[in-house]
């Protein structure tokens, strides 16, 4: 199974990515976790990306593709993936399609649909101490970036016939159940 999770920051991609990966026995590839690991390890990619993250902006496509590409190839070789946080732009999705072999493309793209006001409460209430969640101004910028740059992916995947929409304002367990039900109808 190869699944892409789409959603605003705070929509539950990490929680649901873990749940789906465990359910299907595939790897959870979380671009945000990979990015934070690069920053913490002070790698070249991490140093280049850090300023973008601190400002609540998207990291440039080349850096993201460099970081995520190897993890996705490895996951495909081990049975599949749940891809969380990538792609975030139409350009990233198009480049991923160009670079990926046919057996590596996604079977489904699941959009975790949640209202902006719920997302803001979730982000500002996180206890992880993430720099990109601590400031309401940065949270608002992240939401604007999501609507402007990531939300157009919904039509991109709808046009490919693989988009599923799930109400992510429910409890995490109910969201997981809804996703599994939607995936089962495919």
Other CB atoms within 10 Å distance of the CB of residue 136: 11
Predicted TM-score of the model (pTM): 0.86
Fold for 2-179, please state it.
Answer: Rossmann fold (3.40.50)
Q: Where are the domains of the chain?
A: 2-179
Structure tokens at 116: 């902006």
Per-residue pLDDT 10s for the chain (186 aa) are: 999 999 999 899 999 999 999 999 999 999 888 988 999 999 998 999 999 988 878 888 888 888 888 888 889 889 999 999 899 899 989 988 887 777 788 999 999 999 999 988 888 877 665 666 667 888 888 899 999 999 999 999 999 999 999 999 999 999 999 999 999 976
CA distance 22 to 45: 29
């Amino acid at each position: 199974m190869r699944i892409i999770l789409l959603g605003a920051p705070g929509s539950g991609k990490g929680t649901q990515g873990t749940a789906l990966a465990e359910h299907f026995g595939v790897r959870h590839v979380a671009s945000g976790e990979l990015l934070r690991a690069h920053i913490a390890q002070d790698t070249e990619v991490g140093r280049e990306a850090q300023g973008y993250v601190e400002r609540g902006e998207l990291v440039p496509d080349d850096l993201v593709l460099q970081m995520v590409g190897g993890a996705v190839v490895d996951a495909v070789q081990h049975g599949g993936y749940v891809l969380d946080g990538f792609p975030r732009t139409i350009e990233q999705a198009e480049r991923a399609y160009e670079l990926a072999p046919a057996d590596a493309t996604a079977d489904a793209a699941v959009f975790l649909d949640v209202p902006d006001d719920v997302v803001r409460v979730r982000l500002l209430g996180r206890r992880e101490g993430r720099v990109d969640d601590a400031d309401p101004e940065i949270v608002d910028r992240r939401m604007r970036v999501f609507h402007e740059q990531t939300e157009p992916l919904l039509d991109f995947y709808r046009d490919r016939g693989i988009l599923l929409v799930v109400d992510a304002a429910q409890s995490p367990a109910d969201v997981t159940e809804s996703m599994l039900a939607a995936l089962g109808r495919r």
